[in-house]
Amino acid sequence: MNLAVIGATGLVGEEILKVLQEKKIKINELTLVASNKSIGKTVEFCNNNYKIISIEDALEKKLDVAIFSAGKDLSLKWAEKFANNEVTVIDNSSAWRMDKTKKLIVPEVNGNELTIDDKIIANPNCSTIQMLIALAPIHIKYGITRIIVSTYQSITGTGRIAVNQLNNEYNNIEGEMAYKYPIHQNAIPHCDEFEDNGYTKEEMKLINETHKILDPNISVTATAVRVPVIGGHSESINLTLEKSFQIDDIKKLLSESNGIKLEDDTKNFKYPMPIYAKGKDDVFVGRIRKDFSCENSLNLWVVSDNLRKGAATNAIQILELIKSKGFIG
């Protein structure tokens, strides 16, 4: 398999290379692409050094797969050009997620939808991925009618500029700011841009992507908050179900589901936290309890590393899936 990673020097790109190494995925030829300022620099992968090249040069190569992690604008400009060269594109940006002609894939949830004709495959938003990994088994068995989700999102979702802002604020250093306000010792109820309806784009991604991947009939409302955390995103989720349930049955169901690690032992203070999710591929679920204020409702707390399962790992799992189906060499 000949593979290109577009955006190889970004936070997600770096994580993609880590996941590829960890999974020992066989690559015949690896092509690394980054911005013009990085062209000519070298990146180490599996004890070999690879030079960064331009996206124009990458397009001339004989590739099987290109994983894009360089933002919406670049994906809109280049993804179709690669796809027209018979390259399967796995895109981490928002460019193609709501395109009706493109699949939006979480392998554990709807990976069976992929066909050999899908040349551009969209990776969902990080917050959506971890939420739907946790909710899909519940929806299949009990039917979800409503989701209320509040997210507490790591600064790594914004990128390296946000990590630098937090580090500068720790050390009382003035520097470039990713946010309109300090993030150290703060919580900012503003992820991505505001839309005319009062929601942010991040909140609307949770709503719209849930409808596309899981079920368009579920009522969803979301609030997204940026917090000074590195390890991953956390979500407080309230569900209303069609059917009655027992909490122990919910816990058993989740503990037996792919991609989920149940951490729910309050007597021993065991519950998911981003500091322990960092660097892991699982979606951690805990604090599962009935909502006594509403019939057939419950609360749960979901945590995952947004750079791993929320981006890099999900993309590599898509790669593994299409390879296992024989769609690529």
126 pLDDT more than 90: yes
User: Rounded CA gap, 232 and 153, in Å?
Assistant: 7
- A 10 A CB-CB count for 284 gives 26
Q: Give the pLDDT confidence of 131-157 residue by residue, as tens digits.
A: 999 999 999 999 999 999 999 999 999
Which one is catalytic: 46, 126, 190, 191? 126
Domain-wise residue ranges, the chain: 2-124+311-324, 127-306
166 pLDDT more than 90: yes
Residue 123 DSSP label: P
240 pLDDT more than 90: yes
Q: Is residue 206 within 8 Å of 149, Cβ to Cβ?
A: yes
The domains spanning 2-124+311-324 and 127-306 adopt the same CATH topology: no
Kindly report the length of the chain.
329
Q: How far apart are the first and last CA of the chain?
A: 6
Q: What is the pTM of this model?
A: 0.96
Strands (E), the chain: 2-6, 29-33, 42-45, 48-53, 65-68, 88-91, 103-104, 120-122, 144-153, 219-226, 233-241, 260-262, 283-290, 297-304
Residue 233 catalytic? yes
Tell me the mean pLDDT in the region 285-291: 98
> Which element (helix H / strand E) includes 21?
helix 11-23
CATH architecture of the domain with residue range 127-306: 2-Layer Sandwich (3.30)
CB burial of residue 167 (10 Å; 0-12, 13-18, 19+): middle
Residue 126 catalytic? yes
329 pLDDT more than 90: no
pLDDT at 98: 97
Which one is catalytic: 184, 190, 191, 233? 233
CATH architecture of the domain with residue range 2-124+311-324: 3-Layer(aba) Sandwich (3.40)
Q: Give the pLDDT confidence of 204-224 residue by residue, as tens digits.
A: 999 999 999 999 999 999 999
